Amino acid sequence: MKRTDIRRLLEREAGLEAVRVCGWVRTRRDAKGISFLELNDGSCLRNLQVILEGSLAEEGLLKRLTTGCAVAVEGALVASPAAGQRWELRARGLEVLGEADPESYPLQKKRHRDEFLRGIAHLRPRTNKYGALFRIRSEAAFAVHRFFRERGFFHLHSPILTGSDCEGAGELFRVTTLREPPPAAGGENPWAEDFFGREAHLTVSGQLEAELFACALGRVYTFGPTFRAENSNTPRHAAEFWMIEPEMAFADLEDDLELAEALVKQLVHHLREHCREDLELFARWVDPELPARLENLVARPYARIPYAEAVRILQAAGEPFEFPVQPGADLQTEHERFLCERHVGRPVFVTDYPKEIKPFYMRVNDDGRTVAAMDLLVPRVGELVGGSQREERLAVLERRMEETGLPREPYWWYLDIRRYGTVPHAGFGLGFERFLMLATGVANIRDVIPFPRTPRSLEF
Ligand code: 4AD
C-alpha cells in the first residue's frame, strides 16, 4: 500500500478503512493492553495518534518503539474520542523501520535550547520548532518565485563562481585548485597556473549579471546562494546566505521602492495564508508580538526618509547611541532600528545616501553628492533590502569607478551595456534569511539556515 502524508490525513473530511503512514515516534504512552504513539512525518506540525492494541501492544515490540524510532503503520483512520484531535489511526500492522537508542538519542521530550540544537543540526528539523521553520522557509521560497512570475519577471541563474567583486567591499572567498598560494610579487599573472588562469571567487551578489540580462529580457530576478567573508559574528550575518535580486530595465528608484514593498507584503500574505499553524508556533513560543508585527508589515504604506533627514532625526533624538550619528557615515544597526521601531513605527525606506558610502554602480543624483540608493529597514531585523537605480551613463560610471579605485578592464562587459543601448534600470537585493527572521521572530540567523556557515563553523 502507498503511504499517505499525515498532513493529508488530518485534513480529511471522512475516515478511511485502510491507510499506511510512515514517520518518527515522538512519544509513546502505555495503558493496560493499549499504547498510544504520537507519530510525526514532517509533513505538518501536528502528530497523528496511533493506537496499538492486542499483539501490537506487547512488551517486546513496545520496547523498540522509543522516541525517534522510525515506523510504518497500517490501519484505519477513525474519528478520535480524545479532545483536541479529529482523527486517530487504529493500527492493524506495524513495522519498525529504524530503531533509535534511547540512551543516546539527543532529542527527548522537553524543550531544548537553540544553542544545543545548533550542535545537532542534522537532527533539529525533527523538532516542532525547526520542522515548522523549514516548512516556512520552503513555502517562502515558492512565494518568491510566484511573486515574480505573476509580474512577468524571468528567473536568472547567475554564476556562483565569479571573477569580479560586485560590491567592491572585498569580502570575498577565494576559489583555487592550487596547493600553494602563488608568490605575491613579480608583475606577471600570479594565478596563471590556477584552474581559471586568474583570480576566482564565490559570488557576493548576482546583481551585475542580472543587470546584463535585464538589459535584454526586461525584467529578471536571481535567487541563489551568496557568500561573504565578513568576519562579523553577529546574529544577522552569515558567510553563506540566500539573496533575491530583481533587476528591471526602463525603471527608476520609485519603481524599485514599489517592487520591494510589494514583495515583502506579498510574502507575508502568502505565509499567513499557507503556513498558519507553523506561524502560530512562533507566536506562542518564540515571539508573542509576531502577529502584530506581521500585520504591521502589510497594513500601511512604508515610510520614506532621505538619508540627510534620517541623520537629522537621529541627531535630534537625544538617544544615548553606542555609536554617535555621523553625517556622511553609514547608519549603525541601532540607528536603523531606532528609525523604524521608534521613530516611524513601521518599515521605512532610507534613500539618497552620500555616494562615498555606497558602491560604484549606484546612479549619481543631480546634486552630484548623493546616489539613488535605498535601504529598507524593518523592526527587529534592521536592514532587509538594499538596492538602487543603476548608473546608466557611461562617462559618469567610468568616473565613479575611478573615484572608487576600481580597474575598468575586468568590467569591460559591464561598461559595454552602457555603450550599446543603455537604459535607466534599477534593482535590489533582499536577504532571504533576514526576511525569515522577520517572519518568524527568530532572533539569530543561524537558526533560519539549515546548516549555517559562520566564522569558525562549517560542520555538516
Ligand atoms: O545591501 P547588500 O550588500 O546589496 C547587494 O548585494 C546588492 N548587490 C543588491 C542589489 O542591488 N541587487 O545586500 C542585500 C541584502 C541586505 O539588505 C541583507 O538583507 C542581506 O542582503 N545580507 C545578508 N544577509 C545575511 N548575511 C549577510 N552577511 C548579509 N549581507 C547582506
User: Do 51 and 143 belong to one domain?
Assistant: no
With pLDDT > 90 as the criterion, what percentage of the chain qualifies?
92
Pairing of strands 201-202, 219-227: unpaired
**61, β-bridge pairs:** none
Provide CB contacts within 8 A for 309, sequence distance 6+: none
Whether the pLDDT of residue 166 is over 80: the answer is no
Tell me whether residue 110 is in a domain.
no
Confidence category of residue 186, pLDDT binned at 50, 70, 90: low
Q: Which atom of ligand 1 is nearest to the CA of 430?
A: 15
- Contact status, residue 222 vs residue 359, Cβ threshold 8 Å: no
Other CB atoms closer than 10 Å to residue 216's CB: what's the count? 11
Whether the per-residue pLDDT at 448 is higher than 80: the answer is: yes
Shared-domain flag, residues 387 and 334: yes
**What's the pTM?**
0.97
Q: State the pLDDT confidence band at 109, using cuts at 50, 70 and 90.
A: confident
Give the distance (Å) from ligand 1 centre to CA of residue 82. 49
3-state secondary structure 89-117: EEEEEEEEEECCCCCCCCCCCCCCCHHHH
Q: Are residues 443 and 336 in the same domain?
A: yes
Number of domains in the chain: 2
Question: How many CB atoms lie under 10 A from the CB of residue 416?
Answer: 14
Q: Which domain holds residue 228?
A: 124-447
pLDDT class of 59 with cuts at 50, 70, 90: very high
* Ligand 1 mean position, distance from CA 167 (Å): 9
Q: What is the mean pLDDT of the segment spanning 273-285? A: 98
Q: Which atom of ligand 1 is nearest to the CA of 237?
A: 26
Q: Is the pLDDT of residue 260 over 90?
A: yes
Residues 184 and 272 in one domain: yes
- Residue 113 covered by a domain: no
Cα-based distances in Å from 346 to 227, 302, 381, 426: 29, 7, 12, 24
Whether the CB-CB separation of 72 and 97 falls below 8 Å is answered with yes
> What was the pLDDT predicted at 170?
74
Instruction: Say how many Å lie between the CA of residue 432 and the centre of ligand 1.
Output: 9
Classify burial at 124, counting beta carbons within 10 Å of its beta carbon; exposed 0-12, middle 13-18, buried 19 or more: buried
Protein residue with its CA nearest to atom 24 in ligand 1: 431
pLDDT, greater one: 84 or 52: 52
Tens digits of residue pLDDT in 325-365: 999 999 999 999 999 999 999 999 999 999 999 999 999 99
Read off the pLDDT of each residue in 24-32 and give the average, rounded to a whole number. 96
Ligand 1 atom showing the smallest separation from residue 429 Cα: 9
Residue whose Cα lies nearest atom 7 of ligand 1: it is 429
The Cα–Cα gap between 62 and 33 comes to: 11
| CATH of residue 305 | 3.30.930.10
**Separation between Cα atoms, residue 459 and residue 181, nearest integer Å:** 25
Least confident of 178-182, 293-297, 332-336: 178-182
Pocket test for ligand 1, best of 434, 437, 444 (most atoms within 8 A of CB): 434
Atom of ligand 1 nearest to the CA of 435: 19
**pLDDT tens across 381-419, in order?**
999 999 999 999 999 999 999 999 999 999 999 999 999
Q: Quick check: 165 pLDDT over 90?
A: no
